[in-house]
Amino acid sequence: MSELRMSDKDIENLQKDYNEITKNEHLGGCSQIEDFSNKCLELSKKNEELRTPYFVIYSIFKDIAANQYQRDVPVKENEKIYNVLNPSLQNLFENIKTGSFYLKNLNKLINDFEELFNK
């Protein structure tokens, strides 16, 4: 197996971090979500080729963390957020890792987020 490029390592680590905050099939605490979003922001700054997907993920999770800081979010609501966003996000991670066209999954993630939070 060939050595992973830096962007490959970055997305692998980011996916591991995401899997850690969602290990119970709902989102973790707001500080974990905020840490995750900040990692995405840092990746968006250092990887010009993947700036857009990292920045979108950062923005989404920053808003989720802010929402959780403002109020106690019931577990059921966190489960719903996870269930709606997880498939699109996992597909996006896989697209980024394989270098395949990710715009469709990026748009799906954005649309799923808008449906959840802009009702």
What pLDDT score does 114 carry?
A: 92
Using one digit for the tens of pLDDT, what is the confidence trace for 84-113? Answer: 999 999 999 988 888 776 788 889 999 999
- DSSP 8-state secondary structure symbol assigned to residue 83: H
**Is residue 100 a part of any domain in this protein?**
yes
Instruction: Specify the pTM.
Output: 0.86
* Residue 53 included in any domain: yes
The structure tokens 């050595």 sit at 3
Percent of residues, the chain, with pLDDT higher than 70: 92
- Domain hosting residue 98, numbered range: 6-20+27-117
Would residue 41 count as lying in a domain? yes
89 inside domain: yes
Residue 88 included in any domain: yes
Q: Tell me whether residue 78 is in a domain.
A: yes
13 domain-assigned? yes
Q: How many domains does the chain have?
A: 1
- Let me know if residue 1 belongs to a domain: no
